[in-house]
Structure 1
């Protein structure tokens, strides 16, 4: 079934691509890594943008643009009848992320509420976060614990986030997704600029930039920074998610594949750098000394976002304003990334013959039901983040294999070069895609060997350790279940999503 909907112009699809790529990770994971490794990380991160992310995004964009279907249908078209299950895996992997990412959006909304209340407390003379911290140093940690574990408020807020997303997407591509991104993305960039200006004008704020862009050549001998740079590029740009394949399926007929891909990739990196320029100067300005600033930045993703940033902002005059702006930007980033995740499922359901409204409502119900465990249990949340976060590398690998199976020369001619004013060398695609097969294997091995679980495969009693939060057994079991189901129903998937 050919989609009738499409974006009104190039900016519509560019903003949708940026909304997909620019998410919560840009505002909390990137600043931590940039603060930990400085300019050495930035160099490698840009290298992997060109080596890993751009080729995969280019393949995704061109496949979606050509076939105008959901991920299962488009992937099955290019990979062939026997590999339609690969599109099923990509879809389930991204849905697995969407379920718990809706919870992250709910958390962002809750902290926006906290920051808003703190802002009004500041201007009206009521008790602020700073006052609470004076009497209770664990105030912010306790607040985080109250919403991360068995919280009814979290459940309500993530449901509201899903409903808001579905409400927008029911309106369609132009009237829903496109209009939302025209507000969300420029506003997000504007808020990042405001935070940057405020932070740089604080005492010692410029030290954050000096640290961020300073190059320590010794870091290049550390294998961890290479993996961190690759993983940040892979997840931040959305390479392998199937999201850009979904977005491009609504593109106009003559849409430049190469130009749009590069705009999306470098636009995402620009937003990350802006976030780093906003957060690092603030951390350095508000910390007692440089070593404490670095310690803050290396304290971990959740801690940096939900406990340390509010604590830092509460220590200075005007920090309530800065905190409000930060969490408004954080919520916008999270929500703008949630929208294409929901659209991915809607697109696949539409391929089954459903109307947009019916598909959107079913998607909302599905997301609310399967997102509940992550909203209620942080352990379940962390498990899903671990399983499907690593699973994205499998998804990227499947897209690479599909392109290689089709033949790089023919793939470039039939998919990428169509309507593209800019031509990339065939050698670039061949080298990067083949090399990325080995990169994917290395990344999966490294990620699964980090040792977060005491018993990665079997527990102390010799049983398959499937229920451990971070065990490899849990990861592999869930992957295998999805792959086996996909293979069993491969013929049905092909007939329903591809052949039809």
Structure 2
């Protein structure tokens, strides 16, 4: 009830959305060094607290029932495209692989940093943390539910897991506090845990914002101006989701599947460049030789397997959604196929339209853009000029004051 009141019946989400957006904008403007120490300290702390919570959850009564349920697969679900889409989109969300983040971060990497190692370690660590949190939550839920409802069944527990707020938004914020409340010093542990979660999420927000900011900087926009524009757009576009949790549910549904399109577009770009050339020139033969080498099977994976995989999954998912939907697929709703198609179509029209306009009017746009960029320089020069005038006026006043003091034999110049 407390979580529902917070996310659905109060204005706190909008206020926090504004506050955190401003904080992320400040960090992007000053540089990530402004919060680097906090992230460096809090990220290992988060891992320690997660492991502590896992160990404690495993010691609870009936925790083994939850662990057994978590580790027992339902093979019949492998025939559902929704399962595969949700699994694939979850990894795409968690690692940021389909957001274009690494296209920006890659410009700051040296060849000696080992992109192949980074990709493998990032994916492995992400998967390990996801499993840790999953086991912790399931053990906590099964233990708590059986203690409160001794006659309950596994079906009741599964239903409980599905009703933690829209799109399970309350899963972490309801059950982990319950787990910490059973520990000695639980309030301190819970406070440190959610502080670490906040720092980790905050750093992710900064990275996402920087993806767009850096693109504008590369177009010649002053960093301060780019940060202000992106922060304002981010806040405005996020207001509907902050005000209504159902909008957030819709965005989660639509763009989870949309990330598959994004991944396919990345694969298309790779195929245009040439998978063998990319593997050899950009990875295997680059750097100081310390990075892991990709085998030739990488070329076949990117050319055929991944393209076929993504395409089949999307077609399969659309077909099943049409057949099994509770309401006709063509009706609008939070999680209806028609809503997803409309939002994807609008985005495609906007992006393709902007590209067509740019290609056809490139000369005119470049001229006008250069004029806009020059305005920044004029404002900067004007600001410097004003500062110089103020400085000259200040020096004149100081000199006059000292001259008067000397005339009255108070001080020597």
Common fold by TM > 0.5:
yes
1:474 to 342, 359, 362: 342
Partner of 1:483: 351
Deviation at 1:221, TM superposition (A): 5.2
Shift of 1:287: 1.6
Structure 1 residues 156 and 304, CA gap change in structure 2 (3 angstroms):
closer
Q: Which entry has the higher C-alpha Rg, 1 or 2? A: 2
Match in the other structure for 2:395 = none
Other structure's SS at 1:168 match:
helix
Change (3 A) 1:360 1:146: same
Is the Cα–Cα contact under 8 Å of residues 17 and 242 in structure 2 kept in the other structure?
yes
Q: What is the CA–CA distance in structure 1 between the aligned matches of 2:100 and 2:128, rounded to whole Å?
A: 22
Q: How big is the shift at 1:490?
A: 4.4
| 2:20 aligned residue | 161
Helix, strand or coil: the match of 1:425? Answer: coil
Deviation at 1:399, TM superposition (A): 0.6
Among 137, 140, 144, the residue aligned to 2:4: 144
Deviates more, 1:315-324 or 1:253-262: 315-324
Deviations 1:426-472 (A, max 9, x none): 22332244211122223333444535673433x5xxxxx5x866324
The CA deviation string for residues 274-306 of structure 1, in whole angstroms up to 9 with x for no partner, is: 212322221222121561433333446426527
Q: 1:433 to 1:180 in 2, by over 3 A?
A: farther
SS of aligned partner of 2:292? coil
Q: Which of 240, 251, 270 is the equivalent residue of 1:373?
A: 240
Mapped partners of 1:439, 1:275: distance in 2: 28
Asked if the contact 2:242/2:248 (under 8 Å) is kept, the reply is yes
Residues 169-193 of structure 1: per-residue CA shift (max 9 Å, x gap) = 22224x1464443134212212211
Partner of 2:71: 213
In structure 2, distance between residues paired with 1:294 and 1:493: 56
Alpha-carbon spacing, 1:474–1:377, altered in 2? closer, same or farther (3 Å): farther
Shift of 1:480: 2.7
Does structure 2 conserve the Cα–Cα contact (< 8 Å) formed by 1:456 and 1:473? no
CA RMSD of aligned residues (A): 3.3
Gaps of 5+ in 1: 1-138, 460-464
For the 8 Å contact 1:408–1:426, the answer to whether it is kept is no
Matched position secondary structure for 1:287: helix
Inter-partner Cα distance in structure 2 for 1:453 and 1:357: 48
Distance 2:269 2:6 in 1: 45
Q: Does 1:343 align with 2:210?
A: yes
- The correspondence of residues 203-282 of structure 1 with structure 2, limited to 5 A, is 203-215=61-73, 220=78, 224-282=82-140
Select the residue among 161, 177, 188 that pairs with 2:46.
188
The Cα of 1:411 is off from its aligned counterpart by 1.5
Tell me how far apart the structure 1 counterparts of residues 141 and 83 of structure 2 sit (CA, whole Å): 22
Which protein has greater RCO, CA pairs closer than 8 Å, 6+ apart?
A: 1
Measured at CA, do residues 392 and 314 of structure 1 come closer, stay the same or move farther in structure 2, by a change above 3 Å? Answer: same
Flag the 1:223–1:382 CA change in 2: closer, same or farther, 3 A: closer
8 Å CA contact 1:373–1:380 kept in 2: the answer is yes
SS of alignment partner, residue 422 of structure 1: coil
Determine if contact 1:205/1:282 at 8 Å carries over to the other structure.
yes
- When structure 1 is superposed on structure 2, of 320-329 and 393-402 the one drifting more is 320-329
Task: State the Cα distance separating 1:479 from its structure 2 match.
Answer: 3.0
Go from structure 1 to structure 2 and tell me whether the alpha carbon gap of 1:340 and 1:217 turns closer, same or farther (over 3 Å shift). same
Structure 2 residue matching 1:431: 3-state secondary structure? helix
Displacement of 1:398 after TM fit? 0.7
| TM-score, length of structure 1 as denominator length | 0.61
Q: Secondary structure at the match of 1:454?
A: coil
The answer to whether the 8 Å contact 1:403/1:411 transfers is: yes
Query: The residue matched to 1:354 in structure 2 has which SS?
Result: coil
| Matches of 2:228 and 2:340, distance apart in 1 | 35
Q: Which residue of 2 aligns with 1:136?
A: none
- Equivalent-residue separation in structure 1 for 2:245 and 2:75 (angstroms): 38
Match of 2:171 among 291, 305, 314: 305
Offset of residue 329 of structure 1 = 4.8
Contact 1:191/1:329 (8 A) holds in 2: no
Change (3 A) 1:489 1:234: same
In structure 2, the partner of 1:53 is: none
**Partner of residue 454, structure 1:** 327
Match of 1:12 in 2: none
In structure 2, list runs of 5 or more residues that go unmatched.
147-151, 371-413
Q: How far 1:485 sits from its partner (Å)?
A: 2.6
After TM superposition, give the deviation of residue 475 of structure 1 in Å: 2.8
